[in-house]
Amino acid sequence: MNQTKLKGMILIVLMAAAGLAGCIGDEDEKESTMDASDGGYTYASNVDNHRSLMKDMCDIKSAASDYDWATAKDIYQNGKNAEKSDGSYRTLAGFASAEGKNHDYDAYYGEAGSIDSHIMAALDGTGDFATASDTVRYQGVAKLTANMGMIAYTIHELNAAVIKADAGNVDDDSGAPHAWDEGWAFFHGPDEDLGCAPANTFKKRSADFGTETNGVSDTLNAVETAMVNGLAALQAEDQAGYTSATETIMKNIIIVYSQATLKYTAKMDNADSGEKYQAEGYAFWKVMEAYSAQYTDGCNNMNSNYVFMMGDIEASTCDEFSWVESPSTGEMVCYNSVTHQTTADNETECEGFAAQWFEDMYGAKQINDILDLSDSSKLGNSYDIAPHLEMVWSHYGITSDEIGTYS
């Protein structure tokens, strides 16, 4: 399934429900008592209830840090801070376990409520966390709720906004701008709760990788600017404008969670904290896996025993290597006529590619192997996963400078 943009998971069935996509509407909101803006974004509508969910992330993290799994689970499933006008509570579990949301996670993992499955495994010590220590489970709970959960919620709302705008519903209080506001509420939340938000991950990874300008995170600034511009585009019914904004946001999500996964897989050689770093890498990788794995196909070279990363290809593409003269340099090269990539040092090596040696989502499988929480043999090593992600970055138009260098 080729889903190239944040807008990509817009299904026909969702288009039929465009008028209802995203949020329920004003019935969730009490009269606004919060500031009109968070960060550099000013809301067009009342999304106080949605903004208040970020406090749940803080409280879940606090409970999990004490290994109080029961309290963390109760807040996750039943809510604590985001009270609706009818007295019920918005919960992260309610979204994470729901079917038919505007994101790619359920389709990729092959189950409805896949986000909930990941989070509940960490909370209950089951699934991927079945043999995990409390330290590992804490990292899973804290990072999966605030990142996989809230980024998925953000993606869902931005896609809902696009669906509504495409259908002509741009009313600030009930249409596309309202859904867009909800996206920022789930990504950034109240300024005082920023430490529990995905936006804080953006700030921290920019500091780690030197992708700041005058001390300001390049990725966070890019997303904030895209959110501001995207809101204006939605209100103006400027399809090109809001489409560009969603693409920018998706690109920067991939940048940040690539940085995070790169950082923590590299740190797995730490003798004292290797399992902690593996768990952090696992949680951050899960944010981007569904939007990255399909671009990590490879062709296995049976003559030289290596896998050449190709991006999103068909198996037959591995048959299309030829030893030819380069028209630009006059040198002999191993050229793929489908992707126009070159590899291999000699003709014998070039003949080692074939469709039967196609490796579907090879890079993603290698990363998942490294981040297998049940395999202690993976600890004690530092991993460079950049080669597995390079074609992902190529797909999203991400440069090496935008990734930066971890230090």
- 9 pLDDT above the threshold of 70: no
Question: How many domains, in total, are found in the chain?
Answer: 2
Q: What's the whole-number mean pLDDT along residues 367-377?
A: 97
Give residue 27's pLDDT. 52
Give residue 32's pLDDT. 73
Same domain for 107 and 207? yes
- 236 pLDDT above the threshold of 80: yes
Task: Give the whole-number percent of the chain exceeding pLDDT 90.
Answer: 91
30-57 pLDDT, tens per residue?
A: 677 899 999 999 999 999 999 999 999 9
Question: Cα 12 from chain centroid?
Answer: 23
Q: What's the whole-number mean pLDDT along residues 399-407?
A: 96
Confidence of residue 344 (pLDDT cuts 50, 70, 90): confident
User: 288 to each of 32, 65, 123, 255, how far by Cα in Å?
Assistant: 34, 25, 21, 9
Confidence of residue 26 (pLDDT cuts 50, 70, 90): very low
Whole-angstrom distance, CA of residue 403 vs CA of residue 210: 9
Give residue 8's pLDDT. 43
Give residue 4's pLDDT. 40
Q: What's the whole-number mean pLDDT along residues 381-399?
A: 98
Q: What's the whole-number mean pLDDT along residues 109-123?
A: 98
Query: Is 205 contained in some domain?
Result: yes
The answer to which of 4-8, 99-103, 403-407 has the lowest mean pLDDT is: 4-8
The tokens for 67 are: 């290994």
Query: Is 302 contained in some domain?
Result: yes
Whole-angstrom distance, CA of residue 407 vs CA of residue 394: 23
Query: Is 118 contained in some domain?
Result: yes
Whole-angstrom distance, CA of residue 93 vs CA of residue 76: 6
58-96 pLDDT, tens per residue?
A: 999 999 999 999 999 999 999 999 999 999 999 999 999
Query: Is 393 contained in some domain?
Result: no
The single-letter DSSP state of residue 149 is I
User: 161 to each of 48, 84, 117, 181, 346, how far by Cα in Å?
Assistant: 18, 21, 26, 9, 52
Domain boundary among the residues 338, 360, 382 is at 360
Same domain for 215 and 178? yes
The tokens for 296 are: 């990590």
Do residues 163 and 14 lie in contact, with contact meaning Cβ atoms separated by under 8 Å? yes
Same domain for 276 and 334? no
Q: What's the whole-number mean pLDDT along residues 359-380?
A: 98
Domain boundary among the residues 360, 378, 395 is at 360
Same domain for 125 and 237? yes
Instruction: Show the domain range for 10.
Output: 6-292
**What does the radius of gyration of the chain's CA atoms come to, in whole angstroms?**
22
Query: Is 40 contained in some domain?
Result: yes
More confident residue, 280 or 15: 280
Query: Is 381 contained in some domain?
Result: no
291-333 pLDDT, tens per residue?
A: 999 999 999 999 999 999 999 999 999 999 999 999 999 999 9
Same domain for 176 and 199? yes
Query: Is 396 contained in some domain?
Result: no
Domain boundary among the residues 319, 339, 360 is at 360
Strand pairing class (358-359; 297-301): antiparallel
155-165 pLDDT, tens per residue?
A: 999 999 999 99
For residue 373, the one-letter residue type is L
Query: Is 395 contained in some domain?
Result: no
Inter-helix orientation angle 114-124/134-143, to 10°: 150
- 184 pLDDT above the threshold of 60: yes
Same domain for 208 and 148? yes
Q: Helix or strand or coil: residue 160?
A: helix
Q: Helix or strand or coil: residue 78?
A: helix
Same domain for 142 and 246? yes
Contacts of 114 (CB under 8 A, 6+ apart): 105, 106, 108
- 173 pLDDT above the threshold of 90: yes
Q: What's the whole-number mean pLDDT along residues 173-187?
A: 98
Confidence of residue 407 (pLDDT cuts 50, 70, 90): confident
